[in-house]
Amino acid sequence: MELNLDAFERFAVHFDKGNIIFCEYEPGDAFYLIQDGRVQISKIMGDIEKTIDILHPGEIFGEMAILEEAPRSANAICLDPVKALEFNRANFEVLMRGNPQIALKLLKLFTKRIYDQRRRFMILTLEDNHAKVADVFLMLDESQAGSKPEGSERVFYTTPGDIGHWAGISPEVSRDVLNQFQTQRRLEIYTDRIVVKNINEFARFVNSRRKKRDES
């Protein structure tokens, strides 16, 4: 599906390599469709800047801004000189109506976001922290679907801090829970990765907690 965006030239914005397009916590009112160059999506967590994603031409970012005026949830930084189309709430509807390709792209992005948010919500509604942490691993495992390895052992290149972020608990609490899991030999923690010994066992554990809630 080739996009013909010549008519959108006047919405084009240019950034130099290294420029910040927006940073976390900044109020946002625009979203972008990359035409040239790569954009790094990152978040500063404590003393490190974590890359969440690297986006290429044809991809959309900052789209939450058209839904609500919440602060940006991450930084968008140019890895190359970047040309992008800038949309905002005022021009959005007209532009989308005239250009169903972009609207469709956005629609697909929303389906993905809805899924991610639903999944996150389900994690957060679990009652105890152990179930939350286990469910984060299940979520990470689901997102690796398609390339699922044989057996029930899974390797995740993640940290206790990240797990805590997804589970909505502090890095300290997350580390505590993970250490207990480690003591029970249900997982192993390394500096760059966490190995879950039996992902199916985590699935059963989480399901039983969820069922208990639904029945109560």
Partner 1 sequence: MPKAMTYKANSVIYFQGDVSDRIFILKGGRVSLNSNDIETGEQVRDFIQTGEFFGVKSALGKYPREENAVALADSHVVVFSVPEFEQLALSNSRIVMKMLNVFSNQLRRLHTKVRGLLAEGEQADPELGLFRIGEYYMKKKEYEKALYAFQKYLTYYPSGAYHQLANKHAQQAEQYVSQYGVGRGPGLRGAESGASASSETGRESAGGRGTGSAKTGELDPVAKQYYTAVSSFSQGNYTGAMKQFKAIVDTSEDREYVVKSMFEIGRCLFNLGHYDSCIRHYTALVQRYPKMPDLDDALYYLGQSYEHSGDTNRAGGFYKKILSRPGVSEALKRKVNNALRNLEGA
Exactly one of 14, 98, 127, 184 binds partner 1 (CB under 8 A); that residue is 98
Q: What token pair was written down for 12?
A: 């084009």
In the window 28-57, what residues touch partner 1 (CB under 8 A)?
Answer: 44, 47, 49
Exactly one of 4, 9, 10, 111 binds partner 1 (CB under 8 A); that residue is 111
Alpha-carbon distance of 27 to 15, in angstroms, equals 19
- Only one of the segments 33-41, 92-100, 179-187, 189-197 lies at the binding site for partner 1 (rule: CB under 8 A); that segment is 92-100
Burial 197-206 (b: 16+ CB within 10 A, else e): ebbeebbebb
User: 83: which DSSP letter?
Assistant: E
List all residues 6 or more positions away from 125 whose beta carbon is below 8 Å from its beta carbon.
Answer: 213
Q: How far is the CB of 169 from partner 1 (least distance, A)?
A: 7
Q: Which is nearer to partner 1, 12 or 64 (CB)?
A: 64
Residue 193 near partner 1 by CB under 8 A: no
Instruction: Look at strands 82-88 and 154-156 and give their pairing.
Output: unpaired
Instruction: Look at strands 20-22 and 75-78 and give their pairing.
Output: antiparallel
Q: How far is the CB of 65 from partner 1 (least distance, A)?
A: 11
Q: How far is the CB of 203 from partner 1 (least distance, A)?
A: 13
Please name the residue that has the structure tokens 């899974």: 154
Give the closest residue to 127 by CA, choosing from 162, 168, 176, 158: 168
Give ∠ CA 11-12-15 in degrees, rounded to 5: 140
Beta bridge partners of 52: none
Q: Which is nearer to partner 1, 110 or 190 (CB)?
A: 110
Beta bridge partners of 20: 77
Exactly one of 120, 158, 198, 205 binds partner 1 (CB under 8 A); that residue is 120
- Only one of the segments 6-14, 25-33, 180-188, 190-198 lies at the binding site for partner 1 (rule: CB under 8 A); that segment is 25-33
Q: Which is nearer to partner 1, 110 or 157 (CB)?
A: 110
Alpha-carbon distance of 174 to 48, in angstroms, equals 18
- Only one of the segments 4-12, 102-110, 184-192, 198-206 lies at the binding site for partner 1 (rule: CB under 8 A); that segment is 102-110
Catalog residues that contact partner 1 under the rule CB under 8 A: 1, 18-20, 23-27, 44, 47, 49, 64, 66-68, 70-71, 75, 77, 93, 96-101, 103-104, 106-108, 110-115, 117-118, 120-122, 124-125, 165, 168-170, 210, 213-214
